[in-house]
Amino acid sequence: MARLNLIAAALTTAAILVGSASIAGHTASAQSRSKRPTVTEPETGIKLPVTINVLKTMVGHRITGTAVREKSIFAVDVYACGHYVDADEARAALWKWKGKTAKELSADDDFREKLVTPGFGRSLRLQLARDVDVEDFNEAFEDSLQPRVAQLLKDRVKGSLKDIAKLKALFKLDELAEGTKLDFTWVGTTLTVRMNAKQLGAIESDALCRAMWDIYFGDDPIQSGFPRKLVELFPKILKTAEKPKPAKKAKK
C-alpha cells in the first residue's frame, strides 16, 4: 500500500512539473510575441510591427513608414497605416536611390512611380483607430479605386472594374471594430487580403494592385502627407542596396 502511495505521489509531481513547463512555455511564447519590435504611429499611438508575415510562402515584409488616415472636417482618425516591402526585392529594384533621404525619395517622381508599378513584393497594413461601418469603408475605397482602375484600363493594364466589386465582397461583416488589422499584399499581379491574420481572398488584377498603391503614393494621394510619411524608413532599407550583378551568359 505504501508503495502504491509513493507511485501515485510521483505521478502527481510529474504531472505538476509537466503542466508548469507547458504554462511556462506558453508564457515565454506570449512574451516573445509581445516583445516584437514595433513602430508607433504618433497621432493615433497605434503600434505597428516592424515586420509582418503576410503569406505562408514568403519572407516577412519590412516597414517603410507610417501615417494616419483622417476623415471629415473634424479630422477624425480612421486608421493607422503602415507600408511594408520585401526588403531584398526592394533593394534590388530600387538600388539607384541608395543614399537618398526620405524627403528626396517622396519628392522623386521616378521613385514614386516604382512604388505604384510591379517589381517587388509589398504590403499595406491598415489598423482601425475606431469602429467603421463596412458599407462606409467599401464606399470610400470604391470612390478612390474606381477612377484609378478606369484610367489604368485605358492604358491597357490588365484587370477589370469588376475587380473592385470582388474586393468589396471580401468584407462580409456589418462593422469593422476598432483595432482590426487589414493587410493588403501585392505580389506579381495578385492582391491578397487578410483580416486579423486570416486570409479573406486573393484577386488577380494588375490594375487593382496599381490603383491600390496609387491611393497612397500617386500624384493625387488621398492625403497629401502619405507619400512622405510612408517612405520615412526607406533610406534605412536601401542603405545596404547594391547594383544587381548581370546574369552570366550561358555557355554554348
Render pLDDT for 155-165 as a digit per residue (tens, 0 to 9): 999 999 999 99
Q: Residue 58: what are its φ and ψ, rounded to 5°? A: -130, 160
Of the pLDDT bands very low, low, confident and very high (cuts 50, 70, 90), residue 57 is: low
We find that the CATH architecture of domain 38-238 is 3-Layer(bba) Sandwich (3.50)
Of the pLDDT bands very low, low, confident and very high (cuts 50, 70, 90), residue 56 is: low
Q: Taking residues 200-220, report their average pLDDT.
A: 97
pLDDT tens-digit map of 10-35: 434 333 333 443 333 433 333 444 57
